[in-house]
Chains A and B, each alone.
Chain A
Amino acid sequence: MFDISPTEWTAIQLSLRVAAVATLVATPLAVALAWLLARREFWGKSLLDALVHLPLVLPPVVTGYLLLLTFGRRGLVGAFLADHFGIVLAFRWTGAALACGIMAFPLLVRPIRLSIEAVDHRLEQAAGTLGAPPWRVFLTITLPLAMPGVLAGMVLGFAKAIGEFGATITFVSNIPGETQTISSAIYSLIQTPDGDRAALRLVVVSIVIALAALVGSEWFARRASKRLHGN
């Protein structure tokens, strides 16, 4: 049962890579946006908030199709990237990472925003009176104190990225070795006669990855909060 075939390995490795890249690229953006939403008032804030959450409520196939229209070779951004930088996202693993990153984005922003809101603003004021300009207040006080939320968001985002299916398959299809992640591999296998065992193996693998992520995040969160509260 546990003879994992090379194709399956490829799908597993690709999933991990896609999810890791998606999470690592999305995290700084999510932190910046979460800070903006938590600490600043500006015109159009609720619209921006809604926009960030859109991938959560849109059918994933719609998000995927919009990505294809925008980042496809003939899409507005896609053509520009391809002509000027030689970057092609459609039907590539990098495109899968983009799709996963966008789908995971609201799940990253939410816990980070909540944890930034929970940081006592009076500590930030105190840092200011000690001579710290706003960006250093953010780096030395706000971000470290919000770290448990950032880690929670990263784990949630990573798990979402690993499991993403609809937007990914619409945008980058299901090409073994290039864009076939665990999810799309399972999808292909259950459409194939005799694919059941292989599909089951990948199901077990995805359960293991999800469990590891949850246990890992729990451990990180406990360590981080211990470090913060200094007991």
Chain B
Amino acid sequence: MLRVDVSKQLGEFSVEVSFASEGRVTGLFGASGAGKTSLINMIAGLLRPDRGIIAVDGEALDDTAGGLHVPAHRRRIGYVFQDARLFPHLDVRQNLDYGRRMNRLAEDPALQARVTDLLDIGGLLDRRPGRLSGGERQRVALGRALLAQPRLLLLDEPLGSLDEERKVEILPYLERLRDEASVPMVYVSHDAGEMRRLATQVVMLRRGRVIAFGGPEVLPSTAANPAG
């Protein structure tokens, strides 16, 4: 369960958002500039709210009233960025293993095998990120985040930098992830079609405010443009 009740001033723009979601996949939906990335960065601990509370499974990670701010590296919250951000000096195997090493977790070959199978990246292990296609990079980034064994997985427009063909290639992996992995996710997108396929609950944002919250039925019909 994810509870967010925060406000943050960013120059002229302000984010003031409050919601609590039980969903397996919470979708943050809105046009660019709606505050989706600022919000997800606050959940990750990369951005500190001016005021408010962020809690995962009842454990507060930010509580400005109590002066609490758990730094990103102690949150156990995975993050898949739009631009993958694989470490260029490490090969795929080392990228995948990074989170386990940093969290001092024991090696778990079964989990590793499950994740590499789920994402079909077994054949890429010895390659460097520079030698991967956009879709492969995004799958490795997913695997890397999962293998750090997070309690919550944030995905910030993971398909945003891919062309239509690649999107179609990745979407089934995300669905499998939702159905097979037991990690709750927060999925950011401005694409209503993607949201409809993946999200179990939707937070609709516009100019830093929540304008609708509920099941996928709150999404505009596919023909319409995303909320602006």
Contact = CB atoms under 8 A, between A and B. Distances in A.
B87 A127 contact: yes
B77 interface: yes
A123 interface: yes
B59 to A, nearest CB: 16
A136 B130 contact: no
B128 A230 contact: yes
Task: With a 10 A CB-CB cut-off, give which of A123, A227, A231 has the most chain B CB atoms.
Answer: A123
A128 B128 contact: no
A145 B89 contact: yes
Interface string B104-129: 00000000000000000000000011
B99 A130 contact: yes
B46 A128 contact: yes
A137 B73 CA distance: 10
Task: With a 10 A CB-CB cut-off, give which of A120, A126, A131, A145 has the most chain B CB atoms.
Answer: A131
Contact of B89 (A126, A133, A136, A228): A228
A132 B71 CA distance: 10
A129 B46 contact: yes
B210 interface: no
A134 B73 CA distance: 8
A128 B72 contact: yes
A144 B88 CA distance: 10
Nearest to A130: B99
Task: With a 10 A CB-CB cut-off, give which of A129, A133, A141, A228 has the most chain B CB atoms.
Answer: A129
Contacts of B45: 128-129
B201 to A, nearest CB: 23
A136 B130 CA distance: 23
Given A130-B144, A133-B73, A231 B128 contact: yes
B81 A126 contact: yes
Contact of B148 (A122, A131, A140, A144): A131
A144 B131 contact: no
Given A133-B73, A229-B130, A231-B130, A127 B98 contact: yes
A129 B130 contact: no
B46 A125 contact: yes
Interface in B47-96: 71-79, 81, 83, 85, 87-89, 91
A132 B131 contact: no
A132 B130 contact: no
Contacts of B145: 129-130
Contact of A227 (B77, B85, B89, B148): B89
Contact of A128 (B73, B88, B131, B144): B73
B133 interface: no
A225 B89 CA distance: 9
A231 B91 CA distance: 11
B44 interface: yes
A130 B90 CA distance: 15
Given A132-B102, A228-B88, A230-B129, 8 more contacts: A122-B81, A125-B72, A126-B81, A129-B79, A130-B148, A131-B73, A132-B73, A230-B128
24 contacts: A122-B81, A125-B46, A125-B72, A126-B81, A128-B45, A129-B44, A129-B45, A129-B73, A129-B75, A129-B77, A129-B145, A130-B78, A130-B98, A130-B102, A130-B145, A132-B102, A137-B73, A227-B89, A228-B88, A228-B89, A229-B130, A230-B91, A231-B128, A231-B131
Interface of B: 44-46, 71-79, 81, 83, 85, 87-89, 91, 98-99, 102-103, 128-131, 144-145, 148
